[in-house]
A = this chain, B = another copy of it.
Amino acid sequence: MLTDHLTRQFAFVTEIDRLKSVLRQTDLIDGSRRENTAEHSWHVCVLAMALHEHAEAPRPDLDRVLRMLLLHDVVEIDAGDTFAYDTVGYEDKAEREAAAARRLFGLLPVEQGTAWRALWEEFEAGVTPEARFANAVDRLLPVVQNFAAGGGSWTRHGVARSQVLRRVEPVRDVSGTLWAYVAALLDRAVERGFLGDA
């Protein structure tokens, strides 16, 4: 029984290696290649650790945020990454991802798989303080990356400031301080020609 339990845990850990081959629209800051979802998942966890102190009440529990972020994109193994500004891809995104969550978390021992899937669903629902903070940093990270890259995927896709502002709106809900900082950063991005002025 315990052997079967461990075999299921190892099967899950083996399967999610594939997240390293799911490409996102964001490039590495040095422009050398597109980033993948596994390395993004690590990066966004560190961002959450760094910025957690700015989160306003009701203060999210950082540890639940990290567990959520470690798992939040695992579904992309089956469902792929949907670019933030792709309206067509978004149509059946929820359905594809729910099926992926059933299959992937179903590889784990039942109790663990159920708990992890619930954490993923909590992230998706975006209601709890943890889900809202996790979502905010997830939206914020590409801004940091594209700004540092001098445009990155913004330039490639001709994205305008108003689109990014809408996309990072969740930041406003979790921290006024962060929101002001990000808005100023986007102004600078427009000034420097990294982002369209619309």
CB-CB < 8 A to A108: which residues of B?
A: 50
- Total interface residues on A, using CB and 8 Å? 48
CA distance A178 to B30 in the complex (A): 40
A16 touches B63 (CB 8 A): no
Closest Cβ of chain B to A82, distance in Å, is 20
B43 touches A32 (CB 8 A): no
Do A28 and B39 form a contact, CB below 8 Å, given A46-B71, A66-B63?
A: no
A43 CB to nearest chain B CB (Å): 7
Interface hit among A4-12, A83-91, A92-100, A156-164: A4-12
List 15 contacting pairs A-B, 8 Å CB cutoff, sorted by A. Answer: A2-B177, A6-B54, A6-B181, A9-B50, A13-B50, A14-B29, A17-B148, A18-B29, A18-B30, A20-B39, A21-B32, A39-B39, A41-B42, A42-B45, A66-B70
